[in-house]
Amino acid sequence: MKILLPYFKRYKKDVFLTLITIVFSAFATLYQPRLLQQVQNELLADQQQAVIRDTAILIGLGLLSIITGVLNVYYASRITQGVVSDLREDTYAKIQTFSLANVQQFSSESLSVRLINDMQQIMNMIMTIFMQLIRMPLILIGSIIMAIVTIPRYWWAVVVLLALIMGLGVVAVKQITTMFDKFQMYMDKISGRTGEFLQGVRVVKSFNQSPQEIAKLNKDSDELNEVNIKVGYWFSTILPGAQLISYLVISLVVYLIGTSILQHPQDVSVITPYVNYVLTMLFAILLVGMAVMQISRGNVSLRRIQEIMDTQPDVVFNEKAPEDALGGSIEFDDVSFTYPDGQQPVLKHISFAVAPGQMVGIVGATGSGKSTLAQLIARLYDPTTGKIKIGGSDLRQVNENALRKTVSYVLQKAVLFSGTIADNLRQGKKDATSYELERAAQMAQASEFIQRYDETFDHEVEERSANFSGGQKQRLSIARGIIAGSPILILDDSTSALDAESEKLIQEALEKQLPDTTTIMIAEKIVSVMHADKILVLDNGRLVAEGTHEELLKTSPVYQEIYKTQKAKERKEEL
Ligand SMILES: Nc1ncnc2c1ncn2[C@@H]1O[C@H](COP(=O)(O)OP(=O)(O)OP(=O)(O)O)[C@@H](O)[C@H]1O
């Protein structure tokens, strides 16, 4: 709860006004039965003036109840909306500082559940605090005092009633709160599965995996249901149980009043207010119980947000360093890297240097560490040991904006966002002109298909870019990478869905039109990088050779082997 205090402070005025509405509303609720008793006595004594006066006050109290109730909801909502929206913004800003390793540690699905579902629980909790948690204890204490004052000689009945209902409440609340952790855990699991299912819906359908996927989802959903049913079971026993206890105590007190009515005839007028106070007490206990449960549920969510806030980003940039783009040279000095959740190093003692403007190919078998190496250049992870320098600066010392301006990374899996083609390309450069869009599209061999749309660059990209082919997506993401004009461009197997001719044209365009750009081309096929100034050969995380295609054919057995296998495969395909 401590995490919320600074946020509440921002809404001091609303908190103060909520407290005032609570005090007045509690007073109106508690004073009404007392006044009713007074009116009954005045009726019995035939005091008409007093009856009219007190009835008017009763109506006034009713109105006060309504007005303070409405104002309470208004101010509580203002606090809740304000606090949760500030907290969500801060949490979102914190997630923005996360490295890939941090995101992986939580899983992106869990982060989105925390931002949506957990925030909703926190919202319910704050609303409950300002509507019930402060008001109901006041009403509870007030109704206990008033019930005792109404018939002092049966004070013990109130004590018995409280003890029984509280006992029931404590058992139920304990049971229910232990289930909230499980509830959030299953929510994470289900949203993870649903996200995975929707993202891979084509694979699921084409491999006829729908029944299996549905069965997995059903299993998690059944487990969540079980938790919900148990919570529901406890909820459904509390209310009737507490009502039964209250009516038993009320019946006992009414019976006792009946047996002694001759000695205390004035007790006739106390029965109604007494029943009223006992029922108010019951109502207050139930609402306090519910509020405690809502708050403990909110606390689970708050703890999950706190976990995000307490996480130290494991890639920290030097915000004091200059924001200007760095140079285009790359230097790896004895770099090794193990993924945060991995056992074995994926890169082992890698050292190499690339001069600005060079085109460098990286080849190696699948899983040899090519993409990992590229991700280290973009500082999506830090090396476990060793040092990487870009433009002569140690990556651990650079400013984040400087690095993002320097390295443009076109991912292996092309990802576009909903919006227009132009919106997507401008993610590379916010203020790119139409000329720059066209030039980048031409270099990426995307211009031809873009020109076929009536709206050209304003053509809509649907959600998950479902209206584009794999090759079109790759061309657009290459164009997005090019448009940034960064000194270093990394193409991580980004031409795999293109035909050989388009791939060649893209390479020629890069060579001719971006001669000063350092280009790192990761490729499965040697033919894609054979014209590079230098080729790095990775084998099981080790840099086993570097040189031009001709040099490597003479000196590197690993390179020869890959080349031979690929040539043989090509020949087979031609036959
Ligand atoms: N996020 C990750 N967490 C843990 N291990 C990972 C992660 N990404 C990759 N790996 C592991 O690191 C190794 C190298 O993967 P990487 O993607 O760098 O290889 P690659 O050479 O680019 O492969 P490919 O040509 O198939 O893309 C693999 O064994 C892979 O399982």
Q: Is the CB–ligand 1 distance for residue 342 below 6 Å?
A: yes
Q: How far is CA 92 from CA 9, 96, 122, 270, 399, in A?
A: 21, 6, 15, 57, 21
Among 152-156, 408-412, 569-573, the least confident range: 569-573
Tokens (6 digits) for 492: 């991580």
pLDDT at 429: 85
Q: How far is the CA of 362 from the centre of ligand 1 (A)?
A: 14
Write down the ipTM of this complex.
0.97
Average pLDDT, the chain: 87
Q: How far is the CA of 537 from the centre of ligand 1 (A)?
A: 16
Segment 112-141 mean pLDDT? 90
Q: Is the CB–ligand 1 distance for residue 364 below 6 Å?
A: yes
Segment 461-489 mean pLDDT? 88
135 and 72 Cβ atoms separated by less than 8 Å: yes
> Dihedral sign, CA of 19, 24, 25, 30?
positive
pLDDT in tens, 278-312: 888 888 888 888 888 888 889 989 999 999 999 98
291 and 129 Cβ atoms separated by less than 8 Å: yes
pLDDT in tens, 446-459: 988 899 989 898 99
Q: How far is the CA of 120 from the centre of ligand 1 (A)?
A: 36
CA 205 to mean position of chain CA atoms: 28
72 and 27 Cβ atoms separated by less than 8 Å: no
Check whether 402 has a pLDDT greater than 60: yes
Segment 526-540 mean pLDDT? 91
Q: Is the CB–ligand 1 distance for residue 112 below 6 Å?
A: no
374 and 526 Cβ atoms separated by less than 8 Å: no
d(CA 109, CA 160): 49
pLDDT in tens, 163-216: 998 888 788 777 777 777 777 778 778 877 777 766 665 555 555 566 776 777
Band of residue 44 on the pLDDT scale cut at 50, 70, 90: confident
Atom of ligand 1 nearest to the CA of 374: 18
d(CA 380, CA 521): 18
Nearest alpha-carbon partner for 68 in 145, 10, 131, 137:
131
CATH 1.20.1530.20 fits 2-310, yes or no: no
- The tokens 């870009």 sit on which residue? 390
* Topology classification of domain 330-574: Rossmann fold (3.40.50)
> Dihedral sign, CA of 259, 262, 264, 270?
positive
Q: How far is the CA of 372 from the centre of ligand 1 (A)?
A: 6
Given 3-state DSSP classes, what are the helix, strand and coil percentages for the chain, each rounded to the nearest 5? 70, 10, 20
d(CA 568, CA 353): 32
For residue 542, report the phi and psi dihedrals to the nearest 5 degrees: -110, 145
Check whether 571 has a pLDDT greater than 80: no
Q: Is the CB–ligand 1 distance for residue 265 below 6 Å?
A: no
Q: How far is the CA of 370 from the centre of ligand 1 (A)?
A: 8
pLDDT at 45: 84
Helix axes of 48-96 and 12-44: crossing angle, nearest 10 degrees: 160
Helix (H) or strand (E) holding 407: strand 407-410
One-letter amino acid for residue 273 of the chain: P
For residue 141, report the phi and psi dihedrals to the nearest 5 degrees: -65, -45
d(CA 525, CA 420): 32
d(CA 489, CA 510): 10
Task: Write the DSSP symbol of residue 38.
Answer: H
332 and 351 Cβ atoms separated by less than 8 Å: yes
Helix (H) or strand (E) holding 323: none
Q: How far is the CA of 346 from the centre of ligand 1 (A)?
A: 8
pLDDT in tens, 76-97: 999 999 999 999 999 999 998 8
pLDDT at 21: 92
Three-state secondary structure of 499-515? CHHHHHHHHHHHHHHCC
Q: Is the CB–ligand 1 distance for residue 346 below 6 Å?
A: yes
pLDDT in tens, 352-372: 999 999 999 999 988 899 999
d(CA 534, CA 548): 5
Q: How far is the CA of 139 from the centre of ligand 1 (A)?
A: 62
Q: Is the CB–ligand 1 distance for residue 541 below 6 Å?
A: no
285 and 246 Cβ atoms separated by less than 8 Å: no
497: left (phi over 0), alpha (psi -120 to 50) or beta: alpha
Give first-to-last CA distance, the chain, whole Å: 71
Q: Is the CB–ligand 1 distance for residue 496 below 6 Å?
A: no
CATH 1.20.1560.10 domain residues, the chain: 2-310
Q: How far is the CA of 368 from the centre of ligand 1 (A)?
A: 7
CATH 3.40.50.300 domain residues, the chain: 330-574
What are the residues whose beta carbons fall under 8 Å from the beta carbon of 173, sequence distance 6 or more? 289, 292, 293, 296
For residue 354, report the phi and psi dihedrals to the nearest 5 degrees: -125, 130
Q: Is the CB–ligand 1 distance for residue 366 below 6 Å?
A: yes
Atom of ligand 1 nearest to the CA of 368: 21
72 and 131 Cβ atoms separated by less than 8 Å: yes
